[in-house]
């Protein structure tokens, strides 16, 4: 086997295993990932969903406050107040 054949065989082996001769991971196109990429074992990668629960709680809290404000505005209206007074007075007169 010539040096060229050995080099080609080593490159094919590296592509199949996903590593370079130094053991570094390579992407599907054969390039080594940059230092800032999410390479490494899954335990070392940042969680892509980290912080989502906090954002969901914030959105739900804002929605609840908005609904409470709307409910207070409706309950303070004269029409609703009259309906509630009629319901309470009819319930107490029974």
Locate 9 and state its tokens: 């065989």
Residue that wins the pLDDT comparison between 3 and 52: 52
Q: Is the pLDDT of residue 91 over 80?
A: yes
Rounded to the nearest integer, the mean pLDDT of the chain is 75
Q: What is the pTM of this model?
A: 0.40
User: In this model, does residue 71 exceed pLDDT 90?
Assistant: yes
C-alpha dist (Å) from residue 50 to 22, 27, 28, 73? 32, 24, 26, 37
Query: What percentage of the chain has pLDDT greater than the value 70?
Result: 55
47/27 Cα distance (integer angstroms): 20
Q: Which of 7-16, 66-75, 78-87 has the lowest mean pLDDT?
A: 7-16
Are 20 and 32 in contact, with CB atoms under 8 Å apart? yes
Most confident region among 4-8, 9-13, 21-25, 43-47 by mean pLDDT: 43-47
Tell me the mean pLDDT in the region 72-89: 91
62 vs 20: CA distance, rounded Å: 50
Sorted by sequence, the CB contacts under 8 Å of residue 46 that are 6+ apart come out as 38
* Contacts of 56-59 spanning 24+ positions with Cβ under 8 A: none
């Amino acid at each position: 086997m010539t040096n060229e054949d050995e080099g080609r065989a080593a490159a094919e082996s590296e592509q199949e295993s996903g590593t370079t001769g130094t053991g570094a991971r390579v992407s599907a196109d054969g390039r080594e990932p940059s230092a800032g990429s999410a390479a490494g074992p899954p335990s070392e990668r940042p969680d892509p969903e980290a912080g989502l629960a906090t954002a969901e709680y914030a959105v739900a809290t804002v929605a609840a406050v908005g609904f409470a404000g709307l409910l207070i505005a409706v309950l303070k209206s004269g029409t609703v107040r009259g309906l509630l007074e009629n319901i309470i007075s009819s319930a107490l007169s029974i």
